Chain A
Amino acid sequence: MKRKDKARLLLWGLGILLPVMMLFSIATGPVTIPVSEIVQVLLANVGLAEPDPGSRSALIIEAIRLPRTLLGVLVGSTLAVCGAAMQGLFRNPLADPGIIGVASGAALGAGIAIVLGGMLPFTLPDVLKAYSVSVLAFVGGFGATLLVYRIGTTANGTSVATMLLAGIAIGALSGAGMGTLNYIADDAMLRNMTFWSMGSLGGANWQNILLTAPFMILLQLLLIGRSRGLNALLLGESEARHLGQNVNMLKLQLILLTALGVGLAVSLAGMIGFVGLVVPHLVRMFIGPDHRYLMPASCLLGAALLLGADMIARVIVAPAELPIGIVTALLGAPFFISLLLQQRNRIG
């Protein structure tokens, strides 16, 4: 009973924290905008105040900060909930969305788009050029996951252990592909690949958000809907089967949803490590492994953390910008280690 109360409290707390972080994210940036103007622009956007078209502040908030904040929420929550799903499925605390090959496949896809796209004998129209990296990253990530799933699946069902090994093998194969691309790339392409692999929310625009938000929200809801199944899986596969879960169907659903979710997140923002691995752990340290609370809490915390990291990325070297992957790892990892040190006796 006590744990349940704690979980509810955490969900409420995170539910308040996230909008606060969003407001901070909208208020933070290299251009100083007074709070009164921010409030005015936001109110104007929801029709509660007279809009002031042409004002520089309105433009920065509407064209840059608002889409960027929303992208941070979408990407952060998706990565975190997918991480929680993978840790539940593999019953392995080291699992993150990369474990089923989606990250390495996406990296290979993006690399192919950057390098081979730049070597075409003709120039692609700008529209295609802008989207080729995103689309191929998504295709690469999703394709790699399907391959991992196929390798792990026999007539007797899907073996999680085989999938784990297949994920490692596919990762190595993608790594070799990336190495080859690195070798044939010129320095401009190399730089582009490096920056892509460190992630950024800088590419946010309304088009991307409107196109992907419905899918990402739906995927998260579907994953949260698998919470009871994940709880049953914690007991072991045969136990889950005895509890009435269609375990093979559940595995397939979790893998497909994660591949779609992470594929979309990576194609929008590049590779952002750490969030998917650590956010579920953080939540579990506070409220335990019940997925009914773990999954939604991971969504909220993942979004809030990524927004925090992005604020630092934007401001710390202004007017330049730090790739967000550096911030998440640089700040997140020591924080995580300190939590581990504090709680290692309890985790046992």
Chain B
Amino acid sequence: MFARVFKTIAITAGLTATILGGTQAVAKDITQAQRLVTIGSSTTELAFALGAGDRVVAVDVTSKHPQQALKLPKVGYYRSLSAEGILSMKPDVLLGTDEMGPPAIFNQLQAGKVQIEQLPAGSDVDNLKRRIELMAQMFEQPQAGQDLWIKIDNQLKAAAKMAEGKRPRVLFMLSHTGTPMMGGGDTEIDTLITLAGGINVAAEYFDSYRQVSAESLLTMQPDILIVSASSLADKSVEQLLSVQPGLAATPAGINKRVEVVDGTLLIGGLGPRTGEAVLELARKFYPASPSLMTVQAN
């Protein structure tokens, strides 16, 4: 009991120090760690992007990128991990965000000499930058981290340049049967839309994902509708609009402006593919942009 209280105090103190220290804080060095278990799609993607992919021995079920990660053993969903399942992979380090759990397993894993590294979770770009820095420090690959961030940052800047004239009103729809779910503020898709120069209309009304009635869709007046690749699946845009009568009457429905994003970009925080995704969205938002030529020339 006292050990637990003490640990809480220690963690709080450590956290405060990290916040106060800002970017000065040095993440613990896990260069020597030969066996990593990465939890969460963006953590796994970042580990591979930073050149530590060959040391990853297992991932969680949401880690579907890159291809190599798909072949690795899965230790379950990132909120309901099993201590012994992870131990059976004989890892040195369990690397994920502070969303992974349940908390009960951490004591058991630490007792099993598994080092636990939790990165701050978040859906904004600053958080992505921070996680890239922290992971690059852990792997002692500061150069790879810097390169990755510069690449993403350049893509984001290129996307920002394309925005001109009226910003399109954009709506992201998650489910495709019944009452649809829309992506509000404080979500990964909100960040992507905003960075690509659009206005996420749902964010004006709510945070996270909510069901929205057909009538409310009309008041939102989106110019562009975004769906995840899996919700469109084998349906055509016309079919999609026909099952959601509210959508068909919006500007997006009338002009048939429906765009598709890869759903794996949208869960568990932003990852290394964020820059490309934003750039692609910006091209769709501003198809007539003159900057398009220069970006493609790059």
A interface, CB within 8 angstroms of B: 29-32, 56, 59-60, 63-65, 125-127, 129-130, 186-188, 191-192, 195, 200, 202-205, 207, 314, 317-321, 323
* Binary CB contact string for chain B from 87 to 117 against chain A (1 if under 8 A, 0 otherwise): 1110000000001001111011001110000
A60 touches B85 (CB 8 A): no
Q: Which residues of B contact A205 (CB under 8 A)?
A: 104, 107-108
Please, how many angstroms separate the alpha-carbon atoms of A202 and B104 in the complex?
8
Chain A CB within 8 A of B84 CB:
yes
B108 touches A63 (CB 8 A): yes
Known: A127-B8, A314-B84. A59 touches B104 (CB 8 A): no
Please, how many angstroms separate the alpha-carbon atoms of A67 and B107 in the complex?
13
A59 touches B112 (CB 8 A): yes
* Binary CB contact string for chain B from 1 to 39 against chain A (1 if under 8 A, 0 otherwise): 100110110010000000000000000000000000000
Chain A CB within 8 A of B75 CB:
yes
* Binary CB contact string for chain B from 64 to 102 against chain A (1 if under 8 A, 0 otherwise): 000000000111110111111111110000000001001
CB distance from B265 to the nearest CB of A (A): 15
Q: Which residue of A lies closest to B83 (CB)?
A: A64
Known: A320-B76, A321-B76. A126 touches B8 (CB 8 A): yes
Please, how many angstroms separate the alpha-carbon atoms of A41 and B204 in the complex?
60
> What are 24 A-B residue pairs whose CB atoms fall within 8 Å in the complex?
A30-B87, A30-B88, A31-B84, A56-B87, A56-B112, A56-B113, A60-B84, A63-B107, A126-B7, A126-B8, A126-B103, A130-B103, A187-B208, A192-B79, A195-B80, A317-B76, A318-B88, A319-B58, A319-B74, A319-B76, A319-B85, A320-B82, A321-B80, A321-B81
- Interface residue count for B (Cβ, 8 Å)? 37
Please, how many angstroms separate the alpha-carbon atoms of A282 and B79 in the complex?
35
Q: Which residues of B contact A195 (CB under 8 A)?
A: 77, 79-80
B84 touches A65 (CB 8 A): yes
A127 touches B5 (CB 8 A): yes
A29 touches B112 (CB 8 A): no
Please, how many angstroms separate the alpha-carbon atoms of A152 and B209 in the complex?
42
Q: Which residue of A lies closest to B207 (CB)?
A: A186
Given contacts A60-B112, A63-B112, 18 further A-B contacts (CB under 8 A): A30-B84, A30-B88, A186-B209, A187-B208, A191-B77, A191-B79, A191-B80, A192-B79, A195-B79, A202-B80, A202-B83, A202-B102, A317-B76, A318-B85, A319-B58, A319-B75, A319-B82, A319-B88
Please, how many angstroms separate the alpha-carbon atoms of A248 and B4 in the complex?
45
B89 touches A319 (CB 8 A): yes
CB distance from A240 to the nearest CB of B (A): 44
CB distance from A133 to the nearest CB of B (A): 10
Q: Which 6 A-B pairs have the closest CB atoms?
A: A320-B76, A319-B85, A321-B82, A30-B88, A186-B208, A203-B104
Please, how many angstroms separate the alpha-carbon atoms of A321 and B77 in the complex?
9
CB distance from B149 to the nearest CB of A (A): 27
Q: Which residue of A lies closest to B15 (CB)?
A: A123
A203 touches B209 (CB 8 A): no
Q: Which residues of A contact B105 (CB under 8 A)?
A: 202
Please, how many angstroms separate the alpha-carbon atoms of A193 and B161 in the complex?
43
Q: Which residues of B contact A318 (CB under 8 A)?
A: 82, 85, 88
Q: Which residues of B contact A59 (CB under 8 A)?
A: 111-112
CB distance from B116 to the nearest CB of A (A): 14
B interface, CB within 8 angstroms of A: 1, 4-5, 7-8, 11, 58, 61, 73-77, 79-89, 99, 102-105, 107-108, 111-113, 207-209
In-complex Cβ contact of B99 among A65, A188, A200, A317 (8 A): A188
Q: Which residue of A lies closest to B7 (CB)?
A: A126
B82 touches A60 (CB 8 A): no
Q: Which residues of A contact B83 (CB under 8 A)?
A: 64, 202
B87 touches A31 (CB 8 A): yes
CB distance from B51 to the nearest CB of A (A): 25
CB distance from B80 to the nearest CB of A (A): 5
Q: Which residues of A contact B11 (CB under 8 A)?
A: 126
Please, how many angstroms separate the alpha-carbon atoms of A179 and B98 in the complex?
27
Q: Which residue of A lies closest to B102 (CB)?
A: A203
Please, how many angstroms separate the alpha-carbon atoms of A59 and B209 in the complex?
42
Q: Which residues of A contact B82 (CB under 8 A)?
A: 30, 202, 314, 318-321
B84 touches A200 (CB 8 A): no
Q: Which residues of A contact B111 (CB under 8 A)?
A: 59, 63
CB distance from A344 to the nearest CB of B (A): 39
Q: Which residues of B contact A127 (CB under 8 A)?
A: 4-5, 8
Please, how many angstroms separate the alpha-carbon atoms of A59 and B81 in the complex?
18
CB distance from A77 to the nearest CB of B (A): 22
A187 touches B209 (CB 8 A): yes
Please, how many angstroms separate the alpha-carbon atoms of A60 and B73 in the complex?
20
CB distance from B84 to the nearest CB of A (A): 5
Known: A188-B99, A320-B85. A64 touches B79 (CB 8 A): no
Please, how many angstroms separate the alpha-carbon atoms of A59 and B113 in the complex?
10
CB distance from A37 to the nearest CB of B (A): 15
CB distance from A25 to the nearest CB of B (A): 12
B80 touches A200 (CB 8 A): yes
A319 touches B86 (CB 8 A): yes
Please, how many angstroms separate the alpha-carbon atoms of A46 and B204 in the complex?
63
